[in-house]
Structure 1
Amino acid sequence: MGLYRAIFRYTGMAALATTAKAVGIYGALFFGALVLFKWDGVPRSVGLIQPMLFLLLVGASRALARIWLAGNTARSRQWEGRLLIYGAGDAGVQTASALAYGCQFALLGFIDGDPAKIGRTINGLDIISPSDVREAVESMGVTDILLAVPSLGRMRRNEIIASLRGLPVHVRTLPGMADLASGRVTIRDFQELDVEDLLGRAPVPPDQALLARNLADKCVLVTGAGGSIGSELCRQIVFEKPRRILLVEHNEFGLYTIHRELEGLCQENKLAVEIVPLLASVSKLGRLREICQKYRPATVYHAAAYKHVPLVECNPSEGVLNNVFGTLNMARAALESDVEYFVLISTDKAVRPTNVMGATKRMAELALQALAGSRTIDFEELDRRPSIVTPNRTVFAMVRFGNVLGSSGSVVPLFRRQLHEGGPLTVTHEEVTRYFMTIPEAAQLVLQAGAMAHGGEVFVLDMGQPVRIMDLARRMVQLSGLTVRDESNPTGDIEIQVTGLRPGEKLYEELLIGDNPEPTAHERIMKAREDYVQWEKFVTVLASMRHAAEQNDDTQIRSIFGEYVHGYGRRELACGDATVA
């Protein structure tokens, strides 16, 4: 039966079952021999008693060997932490089994809110009530708590995280059990709490009909496809089964990465979607025209932009050429090839901006609003030469939202890196607040908003309540099992430093210029009422702005912003060694 091949220190139920099977076969043969040969002085009851004793001795010897060997291994281990598992269900028990063979954590017990489980044990480990967690942490020296409650809803999950926030423990979450079982991840891959946990707000499930309306069996083009938002748009789009998706990206490595990822998704999910990687810059109108004329996309999502506020503040001309005229170039190429829908990914920083980046995004919005409001488009004044009047058959729309958690340059990856390095965490101002949304939720809402467009709308995503960045920093420190070092706790682990507002940065972000946004068919999408300038007048403004940008005339650029971008704040902002007005 191969019992001699088993490794005693890892002996479990499978080995015990094999032992029982072997002894059962032996017992049947032994009892049969007693009945058949009828040996004198040997009662037939021996045929039952002896195999039972044999099973006890064989099983007990192996169990004792396992306990002794496992005990020696445990005593020699250098534990990385002392762990409680929150959740005594299937996921928690499977994780405990995986931990038994690991070398990182000493498992001390389970936490569960089910009254039927509290006070009982699993493999000798107690199940305690959530109300007793604080006492258990102090008495047992717990360093880590692992959430193993995959079936819980977001609201209940957030309540659990909030209850653990004040404890000196590192709170983490469980990898997928399929990954754990297949060996793709190990116990070392316990994950930090995801951005939804930090946000504390449950995403709204998408409307599948809206998602697929402008995507299914169509050719879809995404600019900035290698960026944080652009790449997530591509991931969401590919699952709606378009005929073809065009990835327009200026960064070679970013394009290579998203192209490979999407090909893998299509192969894994058996999706018949053609993925076309296209190296191109939105500043080159000819290249964009060539792409649109060749592939004839039905829907365009324009996510390409310079978005880092301090960098654009120091380079306003490049910000204008990329964010304003890159958008206009893509819009012109779309008009000339009769694209059905053109959706601009905008930002809350376009509302009463105090920075160049926000002002460029608002100018891009104004340009698209002007295009949407005109039946025929003439670019003669902008090109300084006669041009063909283009009939407008394209529906233009803009979707405006705030910060996305986890994107490049986002505060959450920055804080995690600073925590890993031992601090300090840097916050620009104690009172600075931001709206936040996860990347997948933002991308889904962009796709749904674009499907509701009729022409010229500025859609605004409901991002819930703004989050105070100082509170987010404190929350991340506490959930890492550390304490904040401040005046009230000078011996804390991590300091939070206030560095001062960066060039062009606002304390508070807004989503609306006007008031009274209109509701839409989706509870998280509103429609803003924003004034704009008619194309016949605005094209002259664009011509002046492009001339100023090409001449690197920052003063003239800011003067145009001050005249046409509502609420643009002109103030002295330090930018490196220079000072910009």
Structure 2
Amino acid sequence: MVYRWRSLFLLVSDTVLLGLSLWFSLWIRFDGGVPEKYYENFGNLLFPYILVFLGAFFFFGMYRRAWAYASIGEALALAGAVTAGSLGSLIVSLVWFPGPLPFPRSFWILNWILAVVLAGGSRFVWRLFRDYGLGLKKKKKGSRVLIAGAGAAGVLVAKELKSHYNGGIRILGFVDDDPLKQKVIVQGIPVLGTSEEIPALAAGHKIQEIIIAMPSAAGKAKRRIVALGKETGAKVKILPGVYDLIDGRVKISRIRDVDVEDLLGRDPVKVDLDGIAQYIRGQVVLVTGGGGSIGSELCRQIASYNPKALLILDACENNVYEIDLELKKAFPDLHIVSLVKDVRDRRSVIQAFKAYRPQVVFHAAAHKHVPMMEYNPEDAIKNNVMGTYHVAQVADMFKAKKFVLISTDKAVNPTSFMGASKRLAELVVQYLDTVSETSYVAVRFGNVLGSAGSVLPLFKKQIAEGGPVTVTHPAMVRFFMTIPEAVQLVIQAGAMAKGGEIFVLDMGEPVKIMDLARSLIELSGLEPGKDIDIKITGTRPGEKLYEELLTAEEGVTATTHKRIFVARPGALLPDLIEEKIIARIVSGSLPQTGEQALEMVREFLPGFKEQETGTSLPEEPGGQPERRAGRGDRETGDWLTVQNRLRERKEEENMAAKMV
């Protein structure tokens, strides 16, 4: 109904204004003294002229456009409609009055100009009302805003703020570090200076809010601007990240408070979509640990590349249930199979491969918490080494094409049992690559923001509880990535894999955990040391002050992707891997105590924990090193002999060969 009334109003308005443009064209042409014969012609042609113009306006959609948001596109359409109307009226004149034209030639030019001015002006006045109210609406004393970034994102922010908060927000200006933008005016808003001038500009213009409109900027640049903004006392907000905007998850107007992830941002990750789609599309893909932080994001991203089927395997029933529910809602046409199985149970792994024949395997199942694995080192070996071998070796049995191990920077020169177990897992998949047609690779990256058990959720919880925020050491530094970014690079590395590589992801600059804690407290609107204390607790068992991505002997080789590198492998020692890892797994003689786990690790990493005293294992409350004599302790004699286990495994492999 509103649309019809608006169209009717514009139609009546155009009828009047087009008639006036015709009359004023004559009046101007003859300086007010219009000859009598032209009066007669005007009376005869006024009605057909207006009909022709209105027809042209209908044809160009002048009554379907939202003139409150008029821009260059609408202006060009208006000019086209008036031009068509002028040509049409000229044709009518020639048909109606054979012979000389009924009006002088200059009349047609004047009429075109006046029609554009009057018809266009009547429409663009709606844009003026929307943006400025033409003084009819009393403007509020809105929040005084400074926008950091005068690029495309900054312009979009300015437009949205004008559209949605007319009078409620006053944009005083932009700041931008581009020399070409200094002292220019963008969207009617001046660029006042560079980001370094934020404190002075904020004081001079009494800025109340600073909006960072640089979605693709690196974390270092954002940290600097946030720090400058905090000096002013103004509220600092940020535009969502570039991936959120592209994916449509948020709109420009969804400006939010700065979060710590923004300060740790990276340059946007660009992936080879064709390459990824080629090795995942139409394939059966298995993700072990698919209910965890990394595994679940792997499942989300893999699902978008149209696999034939997605297998989600995890030992935790609740985790599998949640990701299964989410993906079936988001991808109703995708064949999703959720498997509650433990990678330490080889027969269960074989059953899964036999039933579904996965062609691409992402192995994310692992014990990952460093302090927990210091108290349970033998379980780190069982889950991270034996579990990896089971999935990787069964992948070979059933002729999978690719196997990607999710590894960690803690596997490099490890000081923890978690890191050491992941290093042994890397050696296992590198060894299998030499004896299998399956392509085996590993991907190393550092800490993932927001993953279960990571430092960020812990800090947020401590701040919510009133503190203190606990930091183990003031000099502690870590590499960080967001979960989606890390997973994108993992999938990309899988596309690049030829076999046997250890891919290393570029983690950017390391971040001091102390700085991270301070930033998060400040972003919560509190002051470190005053509102929330930071407590130094001391390093935990197995922790290093800094992490590394390469061992001394590895070195690095560039790839076609600027964020992914390949570690040059050292000597593999296959005989040692067969004897000290695979034979122990097959025979059921893996370590059953902390001391045995330490002995096994030192066979591959001779210097492991030598700098620590005693057995280097954490002590239990009673003060004694943890000892567990389980049923797998070879001294008890409860297990089958090595020969029996080898024979049993051979039978399993023969059975699997018949299945293939």
Matched letter for residue 506 of structure 1: K
Deviations 1:199-240 (A, max 9, x none): 354245223454345323211111111222212222332333
> Quick one: which amino acid aligns to residue 546 of structure 2?
Y
Distance across 1 between alignment mates of 2:289 and 2:414: 23
Q: State yes or no: 1:154 paired with 2:217.
A: yes
- Is 1:128 the counterpart of 2:199? The answer is no
Q: Which amino acid aligns with 2:430?
A: Q
1:319 to 380, 384, 387: 380
Q: Which residue of 2 aligns with 1:538?
A: 581
Distance between the aligned counterparts of 1:402 and 1:225, measured in 2? 19
1:273-352 equivalences under 5 Å are 273-352=334-413
**By how many angstroms is 1:493 displaced?**
5.0
Matched, 1:507 2:557: no
Shift of 1:264: 4.5
Q: Deviations over 1:249-289 (max 9, x none)?
A: 2223322333344345446xxxx642222222212222211
For residues 132-147 of structure 1, what are the structure 2 equivalents within 5 Å?
A: 132-139=197-204, 142-147=207-212
Instruction: Give yes or no for contact 2:473–2:536 (8 Å, CA) kept in 1.
Output: yes
**Segment of structure 1 superposing worse, 309-318 or 474-483:** 474-483
In structure 2, distance between residues paired with 1:136 and 1:559:
63
Alignment of 1:526 with 2:566, yes or no, is: yes
Candidates 208, 211, 222, aligned match of 2:287? 222
Deviates most, 523-532 or 109-118: 109-118
**In proportion to residue count, which structure has more helix?**
2
TM-score (norm 1): 0.72
TM-score by length of 2: 0.64
Aligned to 1:192: 258
1:94-105 equivalence runs, <5 A: 94-97=159-162, 100=165
Q: CA deviation at 1:116?
A: 6.5
**Does the 8 A contact of 1:328 with 1:364 survive in 2?**
yes
Over residues 88-107 of structure 1, what are the superposed CA-to-partner deviations in whole Å (9 max), with x where a residue is unaligned? Answer: 6442223313652798xx55
Higher-Rg member (1/2): 2
For residues 205 and 2 of structure 1, the distance between their equivalents in structure 2, rounded to whole angstroms, comes to 46
**TM-align CA RMSD:** 4.5
- Alignment-derived partner of residue 110 in structure 1: 173
Does residue 1:84 correspond to 2:146, yes or no? Answer: yes
Deviations 1:328-378 (A, max 9, x none): 2212332322222222111111223222211221232233334334x4xxx
Is the CA contact (8 Å cut-off) linking 1:175 and 1:189 kept in structure 2?
Answer: yes
Q: How far does residue 574 in structure 1 lie from its aligned partner after superposition?
A: 4.6
Deviation at 1:462, TM superposition (A): 3.3
Q: Is 2:156–2:252's contact at 8 Å kept on the other side of the alignment?
A: no
Number of the residue aligned with 2:443: 399
Is the partner of 2:336 in helix, strand or coil? strand
Counterpart selection for 1:555 from 595, 609, 633: 595
**Per-residue Cα deviation, 1:298-319 (whole angstroms, up to 9, x for no partner):** 1111001111111222233433
Q: 1:143·1:481 contact (CA, 8 Å) conserved in 2?
A: no
**2:298 counterpart of 1:254:** no
2:193 aligned partner, one-letter code: S
Deviations 1:511-563 (A, max 9, x none): 223424241533422123243424145333446775533xxx22222222233
How far does residue 448 in structure 1 lie from its aligned partner after superposition?
3.2
Q: Does the 8 Å contact 2:238/2:255 carry over to 1?
A: no
- Name the SS for the 2:591 alignment partner: helix
Give SS of 1:166's match: helix
Residue of structure 1 aligned with 2:511, choices 467, 487, 490: 467
Q: Verify the 8 A CA contact 1:310 1:575 in the aligned structure 2.
A: no
Give 3-state SS (helix, strand or coil) of 1:526's partner.
strand
More strand by share: 1
Q: How many residues matched?
A: 510
CA distance, structure 2, for counterparts of residue 304 and residue 211 of structure 1: 22
Call closer, same or farther: CA 1:185–1:440 in 2, change over 3 Å: closer
Q: What corresponds to 2:492 in structure 1?
A: 448
* 1:118-165 superposed Cα distances (whole Å, 9 cap, x missing partner): 586978x87633354212333555454222345xx435x853552442
The Cα shift of 1:573 comes to: 5.7
- The structure-2 alpha-carbon separation of the partners of 1:566 and 1:509, relative to structure 1 and needing over 3 Å to count, comes to farther
Q: 1:437 to 1:528 in 2, by over 3 A?
A: farther
Cα deviation, residue 425, structure 1: 3.4
Unaligned runs of 5+ in 1: 6-14, 36-54, 376-391, 486-491
Distance 1:61 1:327 in 2: 66
Relative to structure 1, the CA distance from residue 545 to residue 465 in structure 2 (aligned partners, 3 Å threshold; closer, same or farther) is farther
Q: Distance in 1 between matches of 2:448 and 2:241?
A: 24
User: Counterpart in 2 of 1:202?
Assistant: 267
- Percent pairwise identity: 37
The range that moved more, 283-292 or 106-115, is 106-115
Partners in 2 of 1:541 and 1:116 — Cα distance? Answer: 67
Distance 1:453 1:127 in 2: 47
Q: Does the CA contact (< 8 Å) of 2:199 and 2:228 recur in 1?
A: no
Shift of 1:68: 8.9
Task: Specify whether residues 25 and 401 from structure 1 end up closer, same or farther in structure 2 by C-alpha distance, changes over 3 A only.
Answer: same
2-structure distance, mates of 1:183, 1:281: 35
Mapped to 2, the partners of 1:342 and 1:26 lie a distance apart of 75
Contact 2:584 2:590 in 1 (8 A): no
- CA distance in 2: counterparts of 1:303 and 1:235, whole angstroms: 14
Residue matched to 1:378:
none
Q: State the distance in 2 between where 1:64 and 1:165 align.
A: 34
Give the direction of change, closer, same or farther, for the CA distance of 1:87–1:184 in structure 2 (3 Å limit).
closer
Could you give the per-residue CA deviations for residues 2-32 of structure 1, whole angstroms, max 9, x where no partner exists?
79x9xxxxxxxxx9x998877777899999x
- In structure 2, relative to structure 1, the CA distance for the partners of 1:2 and 1:330 (3 Å cut) is closer
Pairing partner for 2:304 from 235, 239, 242: 239
